[in-house]
């Protein structure tokens, strides 16, 4: 039977088990032999990371051809207008080509844990939250997409991967599913 862990990755943690200088890795939080991350979250991102010991499941989660939807909660600089959301929904041109269309909507500020360190806030520039749903996962894609429409990402939380969500999982904690 496959092992599946849902981990709420804190900000500043690398998505790997092997030590990397003085930067924290998954090994500081997960002592379960034989599981590996299905996909990645960069060090500056937080949220749901699925780990498994099942190579086929890992492939279904992370391979773009399977189109497993990933849901992100993104705090951005400024207040995106309808045109910016329409651009995200239509696909955005990045240096490595056009993104696939995303589902994008404004989101009321979610009830989430405080980030350590806190995001930088500027009194003269408001922030807003968006929910983005993507079926592809290029390197730093969400950050590059929001910047391309004029709203740099300040905080990025992956809320869901396919049917799995962060619900009830505190930062730095994981739950094991019966798979």
* Catalytic center residues: 42
Size (the chain), residues: 179
The two three-digit tokens of residue 88, written as one number:
């995200």
d(CA 110, CA 94): 28
Burial of residue 126, with CB atoms counted within 10 A of its CB: 0-12 exposed, 13-18 middle, 19 or more buried: exposed
Residue with tokens 């009321």: 108
Q: How many other CB atoms are there within 10 angstroms of residue 99's CB atom? A: 21
């Amino acid at each position: 039977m496959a092992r599946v862990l849902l981990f709420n990755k804190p900000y500043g943690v690398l998505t790997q088990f092997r030590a990397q200088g003085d930067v924290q890795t998954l090994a500081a939080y997960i002592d379960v032999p034989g599981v590996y991350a299905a996909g990645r979250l960069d060090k500056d991102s937080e949220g749901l990371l699925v780990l498994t010991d099942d190579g086929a499941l890992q492939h279904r989660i992370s391979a773009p051809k399977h189109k497993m939807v990933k849901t992100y909660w993104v705090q951005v600089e400024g207040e995106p207008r309808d045109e910016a959301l329409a651009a995200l929904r239509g696909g955005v041109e990045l240096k490595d080509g056009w993104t696939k269309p995303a589902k994008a909507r404004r989101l009321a500020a979610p009830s989430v844990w405080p980030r350590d360190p806190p995001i930088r806030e500027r009194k003269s520039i408001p922030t807003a939250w968006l929910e983005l749903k993507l079926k592809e996962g290029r390197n730093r894609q969400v950050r590059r997409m929001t910047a391309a429409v004029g709203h740099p990402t300040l905080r990025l939380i992956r809320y869901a991967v396919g049917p799995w969500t962060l619900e009830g999982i505190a930062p730095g904690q994981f739950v094991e599913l019966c798979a």
